[in-house]
């Protein structure tokens, strides 16, 4: 499936695999096939566009790490300022590269 170059061949490969998974009677595969059916449109859209939410997920991860490291911050304004400072430094660093 992941080697497919366009949406139509990916759709054919996915439907073949989903049918196989439903017919194999292995509960884990059946559950996976149901999940893939629910997300079929989104999965197939990934073959037509290169847009992802990877940047946003990376930002969320950095904030979560900061939150773990800053356990005990009592002042939300300081926490917010630390986040803004962290991302301002990052964009400044990228501008110099």
**Between residues 46 and 20, which one has the greater pLDDT?**
20
At residue 1, the pLDDT reads 78
3-state secondary structure labels for all residues of 48-96: CCCCCCHHHHHHHHHHHHHHHHCCCCCCHHHHHHHHHHHHHHHHHHHHH
At residue 93, the pLDDT reads 57
Tell me the pLDDT tens digit for each residue of 63-97. Answer: 999 888 877 767 888 888 888 988 886 655 555 55
Delimit the domains of the chain by residue range. 7-45, 54-96
* C-alpha to C-alpha distance for 1 and 7, rounded to whole angstroms: 10
Instruction: Give the three-class secondary structure for 11.
Output: helix
Q: What percent of the chain has pLDDT over 70?
A: 90
Range with lowest mean pLDDT among 1-10, 36-45, 55-64: 1-10
Whole-angstrom CA distances from 33 to 1, 11, 42, 60, 62 are 14, 13, 14, 29, 33
Tell me the pLDDT tens digit for each residue of 28-40. Answer: 999 999 999 999 9
Per the confidence metrics, is the pTM higher than 0.95?
no
User: Which residues in 28-63 are b (16+ Cβ under 10 Å) and which e?
Assistant: ebeeebeebeeeeeeeeeebeeeeeeeeeeeeeeee
Average pLDDT value over all residues in the chain: 86
């Amino acid at each position: 499936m992941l080697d497919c170059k366009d949406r139509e061949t990916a759709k054919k490969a996915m439907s073949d695999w989903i049918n196989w998974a439903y017919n194999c009677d292995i509960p884990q595969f059946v559950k996976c096939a149901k999940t893939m059916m629910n997300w079929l449109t989104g999965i197939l859209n990934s073959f037509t566009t290169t847009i992802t939410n990877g940047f946003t997920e990376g930002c969320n991860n950095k904030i979560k790490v900061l939150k773990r490291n800053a356990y005990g911050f009592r002042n939300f304004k300081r926490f917010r300022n630390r986040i803004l400072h962290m991302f301002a430094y990052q964009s400044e660093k990228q501008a110099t590269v």
